[in-house]
Chains A and B, each alone.
Chain A
Amino acid sequence: MSVRAEGVDLLRLIRLYIYGQFLEHARPPTVEQTAEALHTTMPAVRAAFRVLARGRVLVLEQGNYDIRMAMPFSAVETPFEVRAINQSWYANCAWDALGIPAMLSCDARIVASCGDCGDPITLAVMDNEVVGHTEVIHFAVPAARWWKNIVFT
Chain B
Amino acid sequence: MDNWCTDQGIERGAVVPLDQAWELARRWYGDRLRPDWRRPSAAETERLFAEVGLTRRFWRLEEPG
Contact = CB atoms under 8 A, between A and B. Distances in A.
Nearest to A15: B37
A95 B18 CA distance: 9
Q: Is the interface of A mostly helix, strand, loop or mixed?
A: mixed
Contacts, number: 102
18 contacts: A15-B37, A16-B33, A19-B32, A55-B39, A95-B24, A96-B25, A100-B29, A136-B1, A137-B16, A138-B15, A139-B14, A142-B58, A143-B49, A143-B60, A143-B65, A144-B60, A144-B61, A144-B63
B14 A102 contact: no
A97 B30 CA distance: 13
Interface residues of B, number: 39
B22 A102 contact: yes
Interface in A114-153: 115-116, 123, 125, 128-130, 132, 135-144, 146-147
Interface string B44-65: 0100010000000111111111
A48 interface: no
A103 B27 CA distance: 9
Contact of B30 (A16, A105, A129): A105
A12 B32 CA distance: 11
Contact of B18 (A71, A104, A130, A147): A130
Nearest to A105: B30
B59 A123 contact: no
A129 B22 contact: yes
A59 interface: no
A18 to B, nearest CB: 11
Contacts of A25: none
Contacts of B1: 136, 138
A138 B11 CA distance: 11
A98 B60 contact: no
